[in-house]
């Protein structure tokens, strides 16, 4: 709760609540966080298949009364067959996306239909479905769909969800984002950031962080990646393997990926360097940025105080130049 309130004080627009066997269930706690905050948006990650789309919609509609304009959903197909089996799910990668496609179909019908919902697909069969409690204010929460694969992008396009993927260079993001943007779909990236008042201080922070790297956890992640079928995870680890001395360019550092996973591709540097590369991502078509850092609270403070004002200045300069 303190983290949410601090983020709100710093002017952060929203926070992502992750999902997995190693975290609390986000749907179980987001209501309390909404009730005890005022402005910040909370994005709840959730994997299709754990519960029925009818029950999921009912739960989300209930939560909407705590703040319908501040609730967003990050919908996932799942990244690890081994972890999916913890929950009794034995579907393959593309089958999980087919199920996610149907899951979103059903949810949207409950949110947009005025009458009973009938749906018959390969994974879900709903007859005369009704929910007395609608989403507060009508409509539905903002929808995001995560993945790096072509099928994830197409699923986002099909449902007009923001396509959210693990990051890469701005050039590669532009290429992968183009089909979504051409269909009027927004694109977001998930990555990490390490910013300090000077570039040297940011590099020193990397050295400090890596001096305490957990090799046992790295071994666990190595096995995890080999067993997972996620294009997002595998492609990000491939970036780390191909990088020269852990750098893709002057500001994109891959060194933490083997220790912290897919979101650990990090944007590193001074406030000017970080802000300028964020603008490169924006030019590539990115409109949503999900950043994390280590330690989380400290990095959020640095980012809010040092980078956001720089980005706003650059945005204003770009607007004036276009005008």
DSSP letters along 121-154, please? -SS-EEEEE--SSPPTTSS--EEEEE-SSHHHHH
Mean pLDDT of 91-111: 97
What backbone torsions phi and psi does residue 181 show, to the nearest 5 degrees?
-65, -35
For CA atoms 87, 92, 95, 100, the dihedral sign is: positive
Q: What is the mean pLDDT of residues 41-55?
A: 96
Element at 253 (helix H, strand E): strand 252-253
Segment 193-198 mean pLDDT: 98
Residue 223 has pLDDT above 90, yes or no: no
Burial (CB count within 10 angstroms: exposed 0-12, middle 13-18, buried 19+), residue 6: middle
Domain limits of the chain?
1-146, 190-284+294-323
Average pLDDT over residues 194-217: 93
- pLDDT value at residue 185: 98
Residue 214 confidence (pLDDT) above 90: no
Give the chain's largest Cα–Cα span: 62
Q: How far apart are the first and last CA of the chain?
A: 42
Query: Which fold is adopted by the domain 1-146?
Result: TIM Barrel (3.20.20)
Tokens for 277?
Answer: 């590369």
CA dist 205 and 306 (Å) reads 16
pLDDT given at position 280: 98
The model's pTM is 0.94
Mean pLDDT, range 237-244, rounded to an integer: 93
SS3 of 323, please? Answer: coil
Q: pLDDT at residue 93 above 70? A: yes
**Token pair of 131, please?**
């929910």
Taking CA atoms, 244 is separated from 13, 63, 239, in Å, by 34, 46, 10
Is 115:65 a contact under the CB 8 Å cutoff?
Answer: no
Task: Kindly report the average pLDDT of the chain as a whole number.
Answer: 95
What's the rounded Cα separation, in Å, for the pair 95 and 190? 24
123-127, 192-196, 210-214, 304-308: the lowest-pLDDT one = 210-214
Give dist(CA 323, CA 316) in Å, integer: 11
Averaged over 295-315, what is the pLDDT? 96
């Amino acid at each position: 709760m303190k983290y949410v309130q601090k983020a709100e004080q710093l002017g952060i627009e929203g926070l992502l609540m992750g999902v997995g066997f190693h975290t609390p269930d986000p749907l179980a706690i987001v209501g309390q966080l909404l009730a005890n905050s005022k402005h910040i948006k909370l994005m709840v990650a959730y994997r299709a298949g754990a519960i029925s789309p009818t029950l999921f919609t009912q739960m989300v509609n209930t939560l909407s009364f705590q703040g319908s304009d501040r609730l967003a959903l990050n919908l996932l197909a799942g990244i690890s067959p081994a972890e999916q089996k913890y929950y009794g799910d034995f579907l393959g990668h593309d089958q999980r996306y087919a199920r996610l496609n149907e899951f979103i179909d059903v949810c949207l019908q409950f949110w947009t239909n005025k009458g009973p919902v009938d749906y018959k697909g390969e994974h879900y069969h709903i007859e005369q479905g009704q929910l007395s409690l609608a989403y507060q204010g009508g409509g539905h929460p903002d929808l995001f769909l995560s993945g790096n694969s072509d099928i994830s992008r197409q699923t986002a396009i099909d449902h007009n969800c923001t396509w959210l993927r693990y990051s890469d260079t701005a050039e590669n993001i532009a290429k992968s984002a183009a089909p979504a943007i051409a269909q009027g779909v927004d694109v977001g990236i998930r990555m990490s950031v390490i910013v300090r008042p000077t570039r040297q201080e940011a590099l020193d922070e990397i050295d400090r962080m890596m001096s305490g790297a957990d090799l046992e956890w790295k071994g666990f992640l190595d096995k995890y990646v080999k067993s997972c079928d996620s294009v997002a995870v595998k492609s990000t680890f491939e970036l780390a393997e191909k990088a020269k001395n852990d750098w893709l360019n002057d500001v994109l550092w891959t060194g933490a990926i083997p220790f912290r996973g897919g979101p650990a591709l990090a944007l590193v540097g001074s406030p000017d360097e970080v802000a300028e590369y964020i603008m490169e991502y924006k030019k590539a078509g990115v409109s949503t940025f999900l950043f994390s850092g280590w330690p989380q609270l400290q990095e959020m403070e640095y980012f809010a105080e040092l980078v956001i004002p720089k980005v706003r200045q650059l945005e204003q300069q770009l607007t004036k130049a276009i005008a």
